[in-house]
Amino acid sequence: MSEQALKVVIDEELCKQCELCVAICPVHVLRISSKINSKGFHPAELFDNEKCISCGFCAMTCPERAIAVYKPEVEKA
Amino acid sequence: MSEQALKVVIDEELCKQCELCVAICPVHVLRISSKINSKGFHPAELFDNEKCISCGFCAMTCPERAIAVYKPEVEKA
Amino acid sequence: MKIVYERPKTLEKVVNHYCPGCHHGILHALIAEVLDEMKLADKTVGVAPVGCAVMAYNYLDIDWIEAPHGRAVAIATGIKLAHPDVLVFTYQGDGDAASIGLAETLYGAIRGVNVTTFMYNNAIYGMTGGQMAPTTLLGMKTTTSPYGRDPKREGYPVKMAETIALQDGTAFAARSALFNPRAITETKNHIKHAFELQMKGEGFTFIEVVGTCPTNWGMTPVEASEFAKNEMVKTYPLGIKKDVKGSETR
Amino acid sequence: MKIVYERPKTLEKVVNHYCPGCHHGILHALIAEVLDEMKLADKTVGVAPVGCAVMAYNYLDIDWIEAPHGRAVAIATGIKLAHPDVLVFTYQGDGDAASIGLAETLYGAIRGVNVTTFMYNNAIYGMTGGQMAPTTLLGMKTTTSPYGRDPKREGYPVKMAETIALQDGTAFAARSALFNPRAITETKNHIKHAFELQMKGEGFTFIEVVGTCPTNWGMTPVEASEFAKNEMVKTYPLGIKKDVKGSETR
Amino acid sequence: MTRNLVVAGFGGQGVMLLGQILALAATEKQLNATWLPSYGPEQRGGTANCTVVISDEEIGSPVVDKPMYTIIMNNPSMEKFEKMVEPNGTVILNSTLITMEPKRTDVNYLKVPANELAEQAGSQRSANMVMLGVIGWLWKDIFTLEELEQAMVEKVGDKRPQLVETNKKAIELGYEFAKNII
Amino acid sequence: MTRNLVVAGFGGQGVMLLGQILALAATEKQLNATWLPSYGPEQRGGTANCTVVISDEEIGSPVVDKPMYTIIMNNPSMEKFEKMVEPNGTVILNSTLITMEPKRTDVNYLKVPANELAEQAGSQRSANMVMLGVIGWLWKDIFTLEELEQAMVEKVGDKRPQLVETNKKAIELGYEFAKNII
Amino acid sequence: MSERILMKGNEAVGEAAVRAGCRLYFGYPITPASEIAEYMAYRLPQVGGTFIQAESELAASNMVYGAAAAGKYAMTASSSPGISLMQEALSYMAGAEVPGLFVDAVRGGPGLGDIQAAQSDYFQLTKGGGHGDYHLIVFAPYTIQEVINIMPIAFETAFKYRNPVVIAIDGLIGQMMEAVEFPYFVNPDEVPLPNWALSGKFRHGYKKNVNTSLELDPEKLEAINWRLQAKYHEIEEKEPRYDYVGVEAPETLVVAYGTVARVTMSALKKMLAEGKSIGLFRPITIWPFPGKALAQKAVNAKRIVVLEMSAGQMIEDVKLNVFDPNKEYEFHGHPGGTTFTPSEIEQILRG
Amino acid sequence: MSERILMKGNEAVGEAAVRAGCRLYFGYPITPASEIAEYMAYRLPQVGGTFIQAESELAASNMVYGAAAAGKYAMTASSSPGISLMQEALSYMAGAEVPGLFVDAVRGGPGLGDIQAAQSDYFQLTKGGGHGDYHLIVFAPYTIQEVINIMPIAFETAFKYRNPVVIAIDGLIGQMMEAVEFPYFVNPDEVPLPNWALSGKFRHGYKKNVNTSLELDPEKLEAINWRLQAKYHEIEEKEPRYDYVGVEAPETLVVAYGTVARVTMSALKKMLAEGKSIGLFRPITIWPFPGKALAQKAVNAKRIVVLEMSAGQMIEDVKLNVFDPNKEYEFHGHPGGTTFTPSEIEQILRG
Ligand SMILES: Cc1ncc(C[n+]2csc(CCOP(=O)(O)OP(=O)(O)O)c2C)c(N)n1
Ligand SMILES: Cc1ncc(C[n+]2csc(CCOP(=O)(O)OP(=O)(O)O)c2C)c(N)n1
Ligand code: SF4
Ligand code: SF4
Ligand code: SF4
Ligand code: SF4
Ligand code: SF4
Ligand code: SF4
Ligand SMILES: [Mg+2]
Ligand SMILES: [Mg+2]
């Protein structure tokens, strides 16, 4: 698995900048970005892919279901 | 108190011949009479004033409140 | 001769339209007795329902209004807020209070409106000729449950006293009956207590009264009273379900 | 990479009209996830309310109808009896299900109709701009309880899950929430269980979901979620209130 | 041919049934018939009446305010309906129960001791059937006695078979009574 | 004298407040004024606009479809309102946010860098007040600067006193800006 | 061939609905419509149908709304106060284009009134008792047989135009008995489910069905309304029904519907037999009102007599359609549940 | 002297009611009427009044019914779908002769529709949306100030005739702001309790008060109805209100009410200034409809232009009252919540 593959993919057009994902992330690897989407919101972004534990909490909590979460396979195999 | 004074006085025009008083009287001194009132009902009547214990059950039970009940005063005094 | 029982003053001396042996008449009389005892007839407004008791206004010598079917508690709320010092009660059938008027009745309890509601539970729609009520017992045949009330088809009997008791604005909720002198006395006590609570502003007071409908049950009045005592109370257990002033006043 | 979470198929990929951080979106997604998992999208009809969720029909890829305010369960009853094999659910606000529609909702439970009702409890009328709901907490200020909800004036919060649980036709009644992953998971389990019970014809299933309304609570979404977790649940304790198949399936 | 009839009495006297049997008998004969009930404002008890129209043409109004025939079973109904009958019409009255004196001179009165005859037949409750027999005689141009009895059996037989015989006897007694006095 | 104006922008840009302050200032001067809001079909967010009519006569329609003046705060509103303005009317546009090029030749455009000026005043949120200042200059025959500021204070002062100073500064910047370029 | 049976009007309503293919009845008891519910409670289980006693008329009408939106023939019956409670649902159904059958056994009003036959719901039914610009299609039969004949047409019309339909009767029609025949029996399994029906069954290919009366964009809502108006105009063109008995171009034109028309028949026939220049125009649909036909019949009339068991409601439609100030308009009414008698009508007609 | 204050229409409705002496408000939120409730929730406690948020419009209307039967000024406000839910209560109140004030902020329908200003409840309000022969008295003011001026009259009229009264507005009037003044303040303690009021207070001497709309004897109910009709006729004689702006006997007579009339004003004044023979007839009461006055104004008119924010409802009353087939009747409507613009109207009027 390549180092770059993101564990958390956020659909920026769906995001409404509610920050619920940011608040819920147990390892604090999400934040609101400085980008702006077509509705005028600053979408959330993952800033530390490494630390993300792929717990899925952010996705479950996101009211917009703007987040997809992936887990590296057989990483420790 | 005169022997004749009735303990139970039934307003025959109010009576609807439901027999609830007859059924409830603990000493069975009420019955449906052969008289007929202007609505075509045979009103209830007291047939044994002596035995009546003035308990008032018949009056309490009568849906028409057609019954008044009296108790001889200081009878045993 | 000492008076043991005489017709209460507030009960108008007219022949009512109820069928022979119907318990509606007993409940009317009990309310009249309590109003007499509490000397409240001059400051009471009754709300009559749509149901057999629709013309209750002809029988109690107090001010009355006849409410649209099921809306008695809403009407009562309007009256009470217009005259907070007046005793206001609704007199309703089970269909009126628990079917079409379920929301209004429950909101009396939720809102804690200072009015008293009587719900005459005869397990039937009497006035309209014997259709199923929300309170019809399982298995009972009515004109709209001709095959007997089957819960899969016609649902379950609704338990109003318990449901009302669950709401926080309820000051008093009880279920009583009229099938014998003891039950009648109990009911009268409840009425008095409820009216007292209302006058003290304690909240919504509710008395579900298990009655009879000899006509639509196809029974004689005596049989109907027996049925109420032996069968109705199995589905509708009597008793006080909630009383905010229970310990103090009883 | 293994998929931990992807947007459910039945959730249409459009931007919804809910305010940022509103929990309505989470509840939508959970229903979509369960429909996906149970492969029911092709045999489901949703009933949208009048309330913030009025346009829910734009967000889940199933057949929908938009019911008059409060009448969702009546509409659902009609649909279910027309197509008994179809999964029917109503998605309602607290005002819709517990105020104007109280009778209809309760009769779903009394009648034991095989439909599932979601009641999103945000303690407010969201769509109309923040008026008091039947579920508004005591002390809460809203546009129609500007001095804070005082039970003497505005009555008490209504406890739907408990009231529904009391009715005999209820197969399942629970209250859950969406303020953290654990609550969300619990809610999803309830949804699945309720849908299963419905498909088995066990009776009425009801899930009261404690949500948020950041906009009308005047809070940020994160604050609102905290408020739901810390304050709402005091008045609205979470948990299963009734489950006819509790032992078997859970 | 068009005939109409009002039957009036107390709720319990079977006036509705009487009318229905006539309407049924007519229908079975492929005639047109309407039966229209009317209940007093009292919800229970009180007086009741029904109007029957029988015709071989299409029936206009099922409401009839000047009936050709009336069967009157009690005093209150006498009060109300005697005056309505069409001039030259026929008033059949239950002389067992009606104590009021007939007031009109332009109609025919037929006094039938219906309850007494019914008692002879086996039950006072069949007084209505006595009246059916009377109408049967008067309308013998339309119905045979058997046709009326047949209609009665259809109406009553299923629910209360025990009444069939008494009713038949009552119908026949009424029929005979009418035959003899007219 | 009758003036009318449409103010259009995003929900959050304070276009409603701007209109209300003008209506209030007019009312205080014993002029007649109507303020009419209009929200898009979206329940939340989206565009919004209001129409203000000020007159010394009785006001006819509060609905105006060909406004004499418009204040346009963003691109979507430019799209919608530019074409509505009355020939020879005035379009005041927020040049900080509006990237669209003016299309008409029969109206006067006034480009105001409202957000920038507001920032100078202390907060971008006062861009609406900059525009109020601009209108103040254009309508100086009706209002003095003080009257507008006074109306602003009445509207805002109670609820958000901390905004009063910034707003005042923004109004003045807008007024000066208009004065200098016209 | 169907046989003639003597039947009560209310029972015939139920039987006709069953034979027209209706298997879903949602009702709340009210005199004089309760017998319809009672008949259905007994009859529907026999044919695999469902009878539900709803908790209220609000619920009943919304259950019909749901079932009809699911593509099925569904109905309810009530009487005036109950119909008032259905106004929101009716407006919604018209707006969302949902068919569904409503029987109104009109009784004396206003308020609780009485339980006798009346026609004072005319405005409520024809002008839209609910909010917004919409119309119900309203049949007003005058005999039990006509109720029966109309029943399948009523369902078909409802589904054809996707609009709620009302059959207005009264306690007199409901409680009387007359020999009737049922010349049809529709097997509901053979009525195809329309493709707009909610059921998930038409969802394949991601074309889900959505039924709603909401449109927050006023321009779009206006467009929807004009489309609805076009539909109503089409119905006004194609669906008015009436009956006329009398001379070709009468001097006296009587207008009456339902029970009143039937009571009028006796006097009318008498006068026609006498050679009077008279005729009875009887709307069978009161919306769409057969206004063009009426105007035509009225061309030579000097006197137009409108008879209603109300204080005067249909008379407005009569005048609007005849629209000629040079005629004499005469109204006779009975509000409150009393019925015209044949002699009274004869007297009126003789003038 | 009262001062001029800039106020929102909906708030003015509330303040006007308070100043007219109303201390009881029962309401259920609905856009665009919610602000009236919100204002009352805030305002009534300040003056010792009571605001209740009812559980529904059914409950709200019946609370008004109860409070008004108890002899007090009581009111509610709602919008079209909510008004549909009040039809039973309205019919009952009319039947039982109970006053009470209802505000309908009419919005686009049918069904859920939208929340914009509309006039498509005209039929529902004026023809009796509920069952039975009855009428509501309906005011349709066209400015906030007119709402304020009408408020005390509305309550007085309701009590004078013991009949429910409606003030029909819309979201445009409700949400706009304009300078208004309140030239009155009625102290509710000085409004005497009418002797029919339920309260026990008039019971002395065994003349208890009973309020009911039930009368099972049809003859008696008919008599009650004729008495009610006589009352309605009296109201039709005495209470119609209208406004007219234009030349004495115009060639073009425009008929419009409420918001539409106001929007028409601009174009009208322009054309009058140009010397056109035109006039605007504006009903202020839509029931009783000022038909006689309209007919008079229409005498010389060739062209009668009716403008409504509906698909055409008041036009029926216009035609019924002018009742002249030789005039040209022109209808322009906006159903669904869109509003006429001044230029559109100008174009229409210029023909
Ligand atoms: C809106 C409305 N729906 C229905 C009715 C008909 N109706 C009159 S009384 C009644 C039910 C009566 O039953 P219940 O309340 O149990 O009282 P009971 O007669 O048994 O005492 C019904 C359905 C009505 N009058 N109004
Ligand atoms: C008959 C009727 N009454 C009132 C309304 C206005 N209305 C729309 S949504 C709503 C309440 C919404 O609150 P809730 O059900 O709690 O849903 P939420 O918006 O909070 O999710 C109301 C009162 C309406 N549309 N129809
Ligand atoms: S998956 Fe878990 S750890 Fe990773 S960003 Fe989301 S919440 Fe944080
Ligand atoms: S939870 Fe979703 S919508 Fe909210 S900030 Fe995160 S990604 Fe955006
Ligand atoms: S008073 Fe008691 S004992 Fe006497 S008759 Fe009545 S019930 Fe019987
Ligand atoms: S209980 Fe009353 S009504 Fe019944 S029989 Fe006895 S006296 Fe008569
Ligand atoms: S119908 Fe039943 S409830 Fe009604 S009066 Fe008769 S017995 Fe009593
Ligand atoms: S108003 Fe409240 S409930 Fe409605 S979408 Fe916004 S946050 Fe959610
Ligand atoms: Mg009952
Ligand atoms: Mg809510």
Å between D28 CA and nearest CA of chain F: 19
Check residue H84 and give its pLDDT.
Answer: 98
Quick one: DSSP state of residue C15?
-
Question: What's the pLDDT tens digit per position in H145-203?
Answer: 999 999 999 999 999 999 999 999 999 999 999 999 999 999 999 999 999 999 998 88
Q: How many CB atoms lie within 10 A of CB B3?
A: 7
Check residue B39 and give its pLDDT.
Answer: 82
Check residue E45 and give its pLDDT.
Answer: 61
Closest CA to G139 of G123, G160, G125, G159: G125
Q: Write down the CATH number for the domain with range D30-214+226-243.
A: 3.40.50.970
Lining residues, ligand 7, CB within 6 Å:
C 18-19, 22, 24, 52, 122, 126, 213-216
Mark out chain C residues that contact chain D at CB-CB < 8 A.
100-103, 106-107, 110-112, 134, 151-152, 154-159, 162-163, 166-169
Check residue F47 and give its pLDDT.
Answer: 81
Check residue A77 and give its pLDDT.
Answer: 47
Quick one: DSSP state of residue H124?
I
From CA C89, how far away is CA C65, in angstroms rounded?
A: 10
From CA H166, how far away is CA H128, in angstroms rounded?
A: 12
pLDDT for D250 beyond 70: no
| pLDDT band (50, 70, 90) for residue F10 | confident
| Beta-bridge mates of residue E112 | E94
From CA C207, how far away is CA C239, in angstroms rounded?
A: 10
Report the pLDDT averaged over residues H68-79.
98
Per-position DSSP letters for G250-282, written without gaps between them:
-SEEEE--HHHHHHHHHHHHHHHHTT-SEEEEE
**Which residue's entry shows tokens 């709720």?**
E11
Closest CA to F113 of F143, F137, F93, F83: F93
Angle at CA E94, nearest 5°, toward E90 and E98?
Answer: 110
Check residue E11 and give its pLDDT.
Answer: 78
Q: Which domains are present in chain H?
A: 5-190 (3.40.50.970), 242-350 (3.40.50.920)
Token representation of residue G162 = 């996707």
Chains C vs H: touching, with 3+ CB pairs under 8 Å?
yes
Ligand 2 centroid vs G133 CA: distance in angstroms?
22
Question: What's the pLDDT tens digit per position in C83-113?
Answer: 999 999 999 999 999 999 999 999 999 999 9
Atom of ligand 3 nearest to the CA of A56: 1
Of C5, C16, C24, Cβ closest to residue B68: C5
Residues of C in contact with G53 (CB under 8 A): 131-132, 144-145, 154
A45 occurs within a structural domain: yes
From CA G201, how far away is CA H295, in angstroms rounded?
A: 57
B45 occurs within a structural domain: yes
> Does residue F52 sit at the H interface (CB-CB below 8 Å)?
no
Q: Look up the domain containing E147 and give its range.
A: 2-181
Question: What's the pLDDT tens digit per position in E39-96?
Answer: 876 656 678 999 999 999 999 999 999 999 999 999 999 999 999 999 999 999 999 9
| pLDDT band (50, 70, 90) for residue B77 | very low
Å between G296 CA and nearest CA of chain D: 42
Report the pLDDT averaged over residues G321-344.
97
Token representation of residue F26 = 């007019």
Q: Look up the domain containing B14 and give its range.
A: 8-69
Residue to probe by mutation, ligand 2, list D75, D99, D125, D209, most atoms within 8 Å of CB: D125
Question: What's the pLDDT tens digit per position in B7-45?
Answer: 999 999 999 999 999 999 999 999 999 999 988 899 999
Ligand 6 centroid vs H214 CA: distance in angstroms?
29
Token representation of residue H184 = 């009155």
The pLDDT mean for chain H works out to 97
Q: Whose CA is nearest to atom 2 of ligand 5?
A: B55
Check residue H1 and give its pLDDT.
Answer: 46
Q: Whose CA is nearest to atom 4 of ligand 3?
A: A52
Check residue B1 and give its pLDDT.
Answer: 45
Question: What's the pLDDT tens digit per position in D74-103?
Answer: 999 999 999 999 999 999 999 999 999 999
* Ligand 2 neighbour H336 (Cβ under 6 A): no
Check residue C249 and give its pLDDT.
Answer: 42
Check residue D248 and give its pLDDT.
Answer: 44
> Does residue C127 sit at the H interface (CB-CB below 8 Å)?
no
Check residue C248 and give its pLDDT.
Answer: 44
Mutate to test the interface with C, among B24, B30, B64 (most CBs of C within 10 A): B64
If DSSP states are collapsed to H, E and C, what string results for chain A?
CCCCCCCEEECCCCCCCCCHHHHHCCCCCEEECCCCCCCCCCCEEECCCCCCCCCCHHHHHCCCCCEEEEECCCCCC
Subunit contact G343:E66, Cβ cutoff 8 A: yes
Mutate to test the interface with G, among D79, D92, D99, D199 (most CBs of G within 10 A): D79
Check residue H112 and give its pLDDT.
Answer: 98
From CA H287, how far away is CA H314, in angstroms rounded?
A: 10
pLDDT for H52 beyond 70: yes
Question: What's the pLDDT tens digit per position in C33-82?
Answer: 999 999 999 999 999 999 999 999 999 999 999 999 999 999 999 999 99
Of all residues in chain F, the percent with pLDDT exceeding 90 is 87
> Does residue C167 sit at the H interface (CB-CB below 8 Å)?
no
Collapsed DSSP state (helix, strand, coil) of residue G5:
strand
What is the Cα gyration radius of chain D? 17
Ligand 8 centroid vs C119 CA: distance in angstroms?
39
Cβ atoms H88, C68 nearer than 8 A: yes
The pLDDT mean for chain G works out to 97
Subunit contact F44:D127, Cβ cutoff 8 A: no
Question: What's the pLDDT tens digit per position in H320-334?
Answer: 999 999 999 999 999
The secondary element (H helix, E strand) that includes residue G285 is: strand G285-287
Report the pLDDT averaged over residues G211-220.
96
From CA G80, how far away is CA G86, in angstroms rounded?
A: 10
Token representation of residue F96 = 């900080």
Cβ atoms F103, F85 nearer than 8 A: no
Token representation of residue A27 = 């390892």
Check residue D12 and give its pLDDT.
Answer: 96
User: Which burial class, exposed, middle or buried, applies to E164 when counting CB atoms under 10 A from its CB (0-12, 13-18, 19+)?
Assistant: middle
pTM of the model: 0.97
Ligand at minimal distance from the CA of F44 is: 8
Check residue E46 and give its pLDDT.
Answer: 72
Question: What's the pLDDT tens digit per position in G241-290?
Answer: 999 999 999 999 999 999 999 999 999 999 999 999 999 999 999 999 99
pLDDT for F140 beyond 80: yes
Ligand at minimal distance from the CA of C123 is: 9
Subunit contact E23:G6, Cβ cutoff 8 A: yes
- Based on the structure, what is the number of domains in chain A? 1
Report the pLDDT averaged over residues G77-87.
98
Of all residues in chain G, the percent with pLDDT exceeding 90 is 97
Question: What's the pLDDT tens digit per position in A32-60?
Answer: 999 999 888 999 999 999 999 999 999 99
From CA D171, how far away is CA D241, in angstroms rounded?
A: 10
* Ligand 3 neighbour A66 (Cβ under 6 A): no
pLDDT for D249 beyond 60: no
| pLDDT band (50, 70, 90) for residue G1 | very low
Mutate to test the interface with B, among C9, C15, C18, C212 (most CBs of B within 10 A): C15
Token representation of residue C29 = 């009389």
Subunit contact C145:G41, Cβ cutoff 8 A: yes
CATH number for position F123: 3.40.920.10
From CA G316, how far away is CA G314, in angstroms rounded?
A: 5
Ligand 2 centroid vs D69 CA: distance in angstroms?
6
Cβ atoms G112, C72 nearer than 8 A: no
- Based on the structure, what is the number of domains in chain F? 1
Q: Whose CA is nearest to atom 1 of ligand 4?
A: A62
| pLDDT band (50, 70, 90) for residue H205 | low
Check residue A3 and give its pLDDT.
Answer: 55
pLDDT for H48 beyond 90: yes
* Ligand 1 neighbour C215 (Cβ under 6 A): no
From CA F152, how far away is CA F146, in angstroms rounded?
A: 10
B75 occurs within a structural domain: no
**Which residue's entry shows tokens 């539409």?**
H260
- From chain H residues 136-175, the ones with a CB under 8 A of any chain D CB are none
> Does residue D216 sit at the F interface (CB-CB below 8 Å)?
no
CB proximity list for D60: less than 8 A, separation 6 or greater = D10, D11, D12, D28, D31, D32, D35, D46
Ligand 4 centroid vs D182 CA: distance in angstroms?
18
pLDDT for E177 beyond 80: yes
**C189-223 core/surface letters (b: 16 or more CB in 10 A; e: else):** bbbbbbbbbbbeebbbbbbbbbbbbbbbbebbbbe
